[in-house]
Amino acid sequence: MVAGVVETGSGSALRRAALLATLTLGTMSYVMSVMVANVSLPQMQGSLSATQDQIALVVTFNLVATAIATPMGGWLVARFGRRRVVLFGLGGFIATSFLCGTATTLVELIIYRVIQGAIGAPIVPVAQAISLDAYPRHQHGMVTAVYGLGVTSGPIIGSTLGGLLSDLYGWRYVFYLLLPFGALAFLGAWLFVADKGKPPGTRLDWTGFLALSLCVGSLQLMLDRGERLGWFEATGIVLAACTSLLGGYLFLVHAITAERPFLNLRLLSDRNYALGMAIALLFGMVNFTPMVLLPTLLQGLRGYPDDVVGYLLAARGGGTFIGFLINIVIRNMDPRMTLFFGFALQGVAGWEMATFDINLTTFDVAWTSGLQGLGVGLVWVPLTVLTFATLEPRYLPEGTAVFHLLRNVGSSVHISLSVALVLWGAKENYAEFVRFVTPLNELTAFGWSMGGWRLDSLTSMASLGNELQRQAAMIGYVNAFFFYAGTAFVAVPLIFMMRFRRS
């Protein structure tokens, strides 16, 4: 079959199905790149001699690069055609995934992850736009559900196989795992993705793009390093904050005054779209955060091996898979209700995670992760349908780009804040604990009060110090999970402000 040939009848239906399968596989491969990195974060941390906030950069900077480059999808399609954009994105994704596996330092890995996110970023919005464009509007709900159903397989495959490979061969193989999936998607794109003419307007607003990059990049750097450096007591953090504010100011002013800005803020005049953007930001915040927190919690405080962590994270993917299946079954239900239940379940899951203690079990993690994944699966389809229900078709490529930008920015910002909350909680609570471990505390004279530890033994005191650090860190994680639950519940009031009319 030659790309670009227009077919009719049953052949056209088969071609659409093959196209949807190809685009789903390509997006699934890209989603896997986030999940497989999460599974091996603690192993990468030890191998690369990084702190917890430093190793989180492997995830957050990838998301930031994705967020900044995502809106370029529309311009790239207009400039080079959607076929070239998809093929270049998949090819670059394959190459950078291999480079990630060869990294020998943290700086190298972060650089490769930034390039991986930037090159692969247009795949998601362009693939979604092509999928929706290939089917009539009344089938968009079905297409979104099928597309999402395939994409949710990525976290399951990435978590299970990634955890197993990491445990057997090391963290580098979680990136090599992406290569066969990316190669198969590239082959499918070569066969089935065709150009449909270039939309008008091939100029990229470089002023808006650079201002947005400056704003988001500086903000992320500030959030990632703020807790470790003492926030605004550090000159670098103050400089990053000022740079972010300057970039944000320039971006907003330019977007309002420019004739054809990088991001068209006039789209926000559509009520459903504006509310959808706010909910997409919150959805991004609650999407990946547990996947970054749980591996370091399970391995650092409980000593779980990579493969077990992978299986537990796969429970989240399994829940998401079930959520998409439910969406297909109840596709005639008011999407606002499905959206409500999705965010409510994520909030409940976060609240239950906040009840964890240092003796948490695999069952505790599995069922709460599955519940969180179920909420994610329930949210994706109705959020997409409601957000774009009233948007004019000609704005669809640009609209999906902004949608994914806010979702990725939400993920990176919330992950950074959550990690900072863990570090702050661990530091503050450890300082509070050690005040009571002193000969001046009369209770230490009684053996039962010390739980077997002795103040006159260096070995015993070192062991006690390690236990206090574990307990303090656990409180930090509990605080982060409460923050996660609150973020999910914030979205609920916005849902019923959206309008929905059955066609």
pLDDT in tens, 238-266: 999 999 999 999 999 988 888 778 777 88
Residue 285: is its pLDDT beyond 60? yes
68 or 297, higher pLDDT = 297
State pTM to two decimals. 0.82
Q: Are residues 228 and 364 in the same domain?
A: no
pLDDT of the residue at 441:
59
Mean pLDDT to the nearest integer, 78-102 = 90
Answer yes or no: are the C-beta atoms of 273 and 267 closer than 8 Å. Answer: yes
Is 443 within the bounds of a domain? no
Residue 75: is its pLDDT beyond 80? no
Mean pLDDT to the nearest integer, 222-241 = 87
Boundaries of domain holding 315:
9-204+262-430+470-495
pLDDT of the residue at 443:
56
Q: Which among 242, 261, 280 is the end of a domain? A: 261
454 or 414, higher pLDDT = 414
Degrees (nearest 5) of the Cα angle 371, 488, 494?
Answer: 125
Is 459 within the bounds of a domain? no
d(CA 300, CA 49): 14
**Is 95 buried (19+), middle (13-18) or exposed (0-12) by CB count in 10 A?**
middle
Q: What is the CATH number of the domain that holds 182?
A: 1.20.1250.20
Q: Are residues 112 and 142 in the same domain?
A: yes
What the block records as the tokens of 64 is 């930031």
Closest CA to 175 of 161, 188, 186: 161
Residue 8: is its pLDDT beyond 50? no
Is 351 within the bounds of a domain? yes
Q: Are residues 412 and 481 in the same domain?
A: yes
Q: Are residues 193 and 239 in the same domain?
A: no
pLDDT confidence tier of residue 449, bands split at 50, 70 and 90: low
Q: Are residues 185 and 217 in the same domain?
A: no
Q: Are residues 362 and 414 in the same domain?
A: yes
Rounded to 5 degrees, what are φ and ψ at 7? -120, 160
Residue 430: is its pLDDT beyond 90? no
What the block records as the tokens of 240 is 């990053």
Mean pLDDT to the nearest integer, 478-498 = 94
Is 81 within the bounds of a domain? yes
What the block records as the tokens of 492 is 């609920």
Answer yes or no: are the C-beta atoms of 181 and 28 closer than 8 Å. Answer: yes
Residue 302: is its pLDDT beyond 60? yes
pLDDT confidence tier of residue 202, bands split at 50, 70 and 90: low
Q: Are residues 190 and 231 in the same domain?
A: no
Q: Are residues 315 and 390 in the same domain?
A: yes
pLDDT confidence tier of residue 439, bands split at 50, 70 and 90: low
pLDDT confidence tier of residue 199, bands split at 50, 70 and 90: low
Q: Which among 228, 245, 261 is the end of a domain? A: 261
Q: At what angle do helices 9-39 and 178-192 cross, to 10 degrees?
A: 160
pLDDT of the residue at 502:
64
Q: Strand ranges (DSSP E) for 229-303?
A: none
Mean pLDDT to the nearest integer, 274-287 = 92
What the block records as the tokens of 178 is 């992406």
Question: How much of the chain exceeds pLDDT 70, in percent?
Answer: 89
Is 67 within the bounds of a domain? yes
Cβ neighbours of residue 434 under 8 Å, at least 6 residues apart? 465, 468
Residue 7: is its pLDDT beyond 60? no
Q: What is the pLDDT of residues 417-427, one digit of tens each?
A: 999 999 999 99
d(CA 35, CA 235): 34
83 DSSP 8-state letter: H
What the block records as the tokens of 84 is 């070239």
Answer yes or no: are the C-beta atoms of 118 and 66 closer than 8 Å. Answer: yes
455 or 82, higher pLDDT = 82
What the block records as the tokens of 445 is 């004279």
pLDDT confidence tier of residue 438, bands split at 50, 70 and 90: low
Q: Is the dihedral of CA 385, 391, 394, 398 positive or negative?
A: negative
pLDDT confidence tier of residue 184, bands split at 50, 70 and 90: very high
Closest CA to 444 of 458, 430, 429, 434: 434
Task: Give me the number of domains the chain comprises.
Answer: 2
Q: Which among 223, 240, 261 is the end of a domain? A: 261
- Measured CA to CA in angstroms, residue 220 lies from 44, 212, 352, 362 at distances of 21, 12, 28, 32
Answer yes or no: are the C-beta atoms of 65 and 121 closer than 8 Å. Answer: yes
Indicate the average pLDDT of the chain: 83
Is 102 within the bounds of a domain? yes
Q: Which 3-state string (H, E, C) describes 287-334?
A: HCHHHHHHHHHHHHHHCCCHHHHHHHHHHHHHHHHHHHHHHHHCCCCC
Q: Are residues 99 and 17 in the same domain?
A: yes
Is 339 within the bounds of a domain? yes
Mean pLDDT to the nearest integer, 35-53 = 83
pLDDT confidence tier of residue 5, bands split at 50, 70 and 90: very low
pLDDT of the residue at 66:
83
Q: What is the pLDDT of residues 348-377, one digit of tens each?
A: 999 999 999 998 899 999 999 999 999 998
pLDDT of the residue at 397:
67
Closest CA to 39 of 180, 164, 176: 164
pLDDT of the residue at 486:
95
Q: Are residues 61 and 162 in the same domain?
A: yes
d(CA 364, CA 166): 23
Q: What is the pLDDT of residues 384-399, one digit of tens each?
A: 888 988 888 777 767 8
Is 487 within the bounds of a domain? yes
pLDDT confidence tier of residue 9, bands split at 50, 70 and 90: very low
Residue 503: is its pLDDT beyond 70? no
* Count of CB atoms situated within 10 Å of the CB of 102: 12
SS3 of the chain: helix, strand, coil, percent, to 5: 80, 0, 20
Q: Which amino acid makes up residue 335? A: P
pLDDT confidence tier of residue 446, bands split at 50, 70 and 90: low
4 or 21, higher pLDDT = 21
Q: Are residues 60 and 146 in the same domain?
A: yes
Q: Are residues 321 and 221 in the same domain?
A: no
Mean pLDDT to the nearest integer, 74-96 = 87
Mean pLDDT to the nearest integer, 128-145 = 76
Range scoring the smallest mean pLDDT among 74-83, 242-251, 338-347:
74-83
